[in-house]
Amino acid sequence: MHHLTQSNYEIRSEWGSQAVDQLSAADVIIIVDVLSFSTCVDIAVSRGATVLPYRWKDETAIAYAREKNAEIASSRNRFAGHYSLAPSSLINVPTGLRLVLPSPNGSTLAFQAKDTGAKVIAGCLRNATAVARWANRNGRTFNVIPAGERWPDGSLRCAIEDLLGAGAIISKLNGTQSPEAQTACASWTGLEQKLSDTLLLSASGQELDQKGFKADVELAAMHDVSSTVPLLTDTDFINANPPAHDARPDDPPPLAPGH
């Protein structure tokens, strides 16, 4: 269905797995799962770790980690002192660590996007400008996919943190924006100045805060504190933007919507 592809625009955005399948092919696909897959990937990779995304949170993840000679992140805070899907648990990961990150949402989207032949990046609020600038240098068409969360019945819940993360990235991309991309960008522009409060008061933020993970929301709400660009290879996220190639101040500014 042509009207679902957003093919008339260079910058497109839509939610979840169906978006990966339905949007027109892109040079770069950016997966945005702010709480917490993309944030975890950014933090770990920025500290010199290699992240191996994995689609399932079950015993097969343990076997996969052994096969890949890697450690495994548990469910959030399942084992005190161990790596988990809580961003705060990854702040001090050692350089060279190989870490399997089981995430049925973010990992599944990343591999699904990889199957399209695009370059696949994990984007979040922390690395928004770095990701956009790298994408501008490495492509002309961009699909920005906010991952969303799940309602109790398993259906997709559009999550404000992913909308804002997508908008922050879109605001720095070069090209014409679809109306959907413009909406994400406008949401970002409208809420940028109260980002931390917005995330903490959102449904996802309240859920994590009430479970004792306020620090993870605060880490995820930090904007442009990272120059890392996590690029998915066949199996791993690695840093495509090492320090020698950090985003340059003379990069061209993004085009205004519709230009």
pLDDT of residue 58: 86
What range does the domain containing 134 cover? 9-239
| Residue corresponding to tokens 């085009």 | 255
In a domain, 245, yes or no: no
Of 40-49, 134-143, 178-187, 247-256, where does mean pLDDT reach its minimum?
247-256
Distance CA 52, CA 2 (A): 34
User: What is the DSSP secondary-structure string of 192-222?
Assistant: GGGHHHHHHHSHHHHHHHHTT-HHHHHHHT-
Query: pLDDT of 202-254, one tens digit each?
Result: 999 999 999 999 999 999 999 999 999 999 999 999 999 987 644 443 344 44
**Residue (of 28, 31, 79, 29) closest to 51 by Cα position:** 31
CATH of the domain at 61: 3.90.1560.10
Q: For residues 55 and 232, give the distance between their C-alpha atoms in angstroms, rounded to a whole number.
A: 14
Extract the tokens encoding 237: 């996220």
pTM of the model: 0.92
> In the predicted model, is pLDDT for residue 129 greater than 60?
yes
Q: Examine residue 39 and state whether it is found in any structural domain, yes or no.
A: yes
Residues 187, 195: contact at Cβ < 8 Å? Answer: no
Confidence of residue 57 (pLDDT cuts 50, 70, 90): confident
Domain count, the chain: 1
Task: State residue 111's pLDDT score.
Answer: 98
